[in-house]
Structure 1
Amino acid sequence: MATALCLVAATAIASTTTEFLHSESALMWDIVAPLVGGALFGAQFGFLLSRRIDERLLKGIFCFVLLGIGLRMLLAMSVQAEPGEFHSGYSFLRASGVALIGVMAGTLSPLLGIGGGLIVVPGLLLSMPAIGGNGARAASLAVACVTSLRSIHLYAKERSIDPRIALWFALGGLMGAALGVQFAHLPGVSAYGQRTLGVILVVTALRFARDAFGPRVPVAEPSN
């Protein structure tokens, strides 16, 4: 998980930079700011929790959570691609809800080795549809920069990262991320992305179910 976070970080940083420089940038800092604040707290909490919670129990819980969100994304109507007008109703209460999504995303990053996008994107789209598919995607990538880098910093102290694998992960992420942002702004891609995310969530839930409810893999004893 620690090494995989290097791929998340490289992809998120390259994508967010490209999005910021794009002529039709969907970055909205009034959404990103509370997300990042919540994610910073969540990343620290998730790292501490990873030392105390059983991994099978955790995956069992998120199996049902991700399955429910994935089915909701698949069955929901297609959201608009670009951000619409939502600022008039964007109150402190709504911003607090966005921060809570950030806390959940940040907590998952060190626990499961993900950047939090599996929570941020559906969380924003289901609670604030006017943000649009590209708005949710851009905000998710921005917060992934913070959650992944913070988690990498925490794991690096324990020397849990394999630098040889991490380097290739990072190079691949850097090359693909910029192209992905350009592709995401093409007409019709947002609706396709919504359905794809739903499928990914369902598949991830089934993968977690296998780990959580399947037979335990015996740990090999060290040889003398």
Structure 2
Amino acid sequence: MEFMFAAIFLVTGVIAGILAGFLGIGGGLVVVPLLSVVLPWVGIQADKVMVIAVGTSLATIVFTAISSTYSHRKNHNVVWPAVFSLFPGLMFGAMLGATLGSQMDNTGLSVIFGVFCAALAVYVTFGKRYVRPVADYAQSRSWLSLIGFITGLISSLVGIGGGTMLGPALIWLGLEARRAVGTSATCGLLIAVFGSFSYVIAGANETDMPPYTIGYIYLPAFFGIIATSVVFAPLGAKMATFFSERVIRSCLGLALTASAIKMFVSF
């Protein structure tokens, strides 16, 4: 039985790593739904399944995003001025999102996750691209920081890294798909660091936590997922370099739709 769970976590890491590099989504769209199914099987209390799934997802994204960011940087797909402008909002939003998420029940988190994925799937698949280029990100820090705050808040609340929101937003601002993916993957790293740290702190105050957890992070799932995700994230990043924007947008829409369906069916 332990071998089966280990295999599930390893395969989850493979899928999460590829998606992190290819779509810049941090893998959380795969990790959270799968963990919401698997965690009850390993004895996690029902009322803690979703918050532990979200916290664990963010923790794994730290390592996946490091690998993905490194690959995108080598391919010159990271717009660093945009990252610096988004950073303040990302940091505070991620910390607030984790604080709110740790206080919500399973149904609330599932509904938020499902609605978010469904709405974004519609936009990514059918939305028109109104390009409004921003040439100087350093001069637009105020509103970019606001975008970062909203992104960090929602992403940390549902454990999806941030690229899912920032990728389409940066495309709308005028970045080509490859650079939008690389930049959003880098921002996802920042969200994951501050968000997962906040979930650790929030869970440390609980007295009835399951075994093998640090805060709201389930360690067996964490180590199993990162063991493969960091290896396969560079493959996803390389795929993003060769595929067209239309293919990337279509794949992102499908991933979002599948995740939304999983969350709505689960409650």
Q: Same fold (TM over 0.5)?
A: yes
State the 1:5 CA deviation. Answer: 2.1
**Cα separation, 1, equivalents of 2:82 and 2:145:** 9
Q: Which residue of 2 aligns with 1:217?
A: none
Q: Which residue of 1 aligns with 2:16?
A: none
**Cα separation, 1, equivalents of 2:194 and 2:138:** 28
Scaled by the length of structure 2, the TM-score of the pair is 0.66
2:154 to 69, 92, 108: 108
Judged with a 3 Å threshold, the aligned counterparts in structure 2 of structure 1 residues 74 and 21 are, in CA distance, closer, same or farther, namely same
**Cα separation, 2, equivalents of 1:110 and 1:78:** 26
Structure 1 unaligned spans of 5+: 215-224
1:122 to 141, 165, 168: 168
State the 1:62 CA deviation. Answer: 5.2
How many positions carry a matched residue from both structures? Answer: 202
State the 1:105 CA deviation. Answer: 2.4
State the 1:43 CA deviation. Answer: 1.0
Judged with a 3 Å threshold, the aligned counterparts in structure 2 of structure 1 residues 96 and 168 are, in CA distance, closer, same or farther, namely same
**For residues 121-152 of structure 1, what are the alpha-carbon distances to aligned partners after superposition, in whole Å with 9 as ceiling and x for unaligned?**
12222x31x20111211111111111111122
Percent of pairs with identical residues: 23
State the 1:95 CA deviation. Answer: 4.1
**Cα separation, 1, equivalents of 2:166 and 2:129:** 17
Q: Which residue of 2 aligns with 1:154?
A: 198
State the 1:199 CA deviation. Answer: 1.8
Q: Which residue of 2 aligns with 1:178?
A: 234
C-alpha contact 1:2 1:152 (8 A) present in aligned 2: yes
**Cα separation, 1, equivalents of 2:246 and 2:257:** 17
**Cα separation, 1, equivalents of 2:57 and 2:85:** 25
Judged with a 3 Å threshold, the aligned counterparts in structure 2 of structure 1 residues 165 and 59 are, in CA distance, closer, same or farther, namely closer
Q: Which residue of 2 aligns with 1:38?
A: 89
**Cα separation, 2, equivalents of 1:200 and 1:74:** 11
C-alpha contact 2:156 2:195 (8 A) present in aligned 1: yes
C-alpha contact 1:11 1:177 (8 A) present in aligned 2: yes
State the 1:97 CA deviation. Answer: 3.6
Q: Which residue of 1 aligns with 2:44?
A: none
Q: Which residue of 2 aligns with 1:19?
A: 72
Within a 5 Å distance, the mapping from 1:207-222 to structure 2 comes to: 207-211=262-266, 214=267
State the 1:197 CA deviation. Answer: 0.8
Deviates more, 1:157-166 or 1:61-70: 61-70
Residue 178 of structure 1 aligns with an amino acid whose one-letter code is P
Residue 183 of structure 1 aligns with an amino acid whose one-letter code is M
**Cα separation, 2, equivalents of 1:98 and 1:171:** 34
Judged with a 3 Å threshold, the aligned counterparts in structure 2 of structure 1 residues 198 and 95 are, in CA distance, closer, same or farther, namely farther
Judged with a 3 Å threshold, the aligned counterparts in structure 2 of structure 1 residues 207 and 77 are, in CA distance, closer, same or farther, namely same
Judged with a 3 Å threshold, the aligned counterparts in structure 2 of structure 1 residues 34 and 210 are, in CA distance, closer, same or farther, namely farther
CA RMSD of aligned residues (A): 2.7
**For residues 155-197 of structure 1, what are the alpha-carbon distances to aligned partners after superposition, in whole Å with 9 as ceiling and x for unaligned?**
33422323332122112111001111122111x3432111111
Scaled by the length of structure 1, the TM-score of the pair is 0.77
Q: In structure 2, the residue corresponding to 1:203 is in which secondary structure?
A: helix
Judged with a 3 Å threshold, the aligned counterparts in structure 2 of structure 1 residues 86 and 150 are, in CA distance, closer, same or farther, namely same
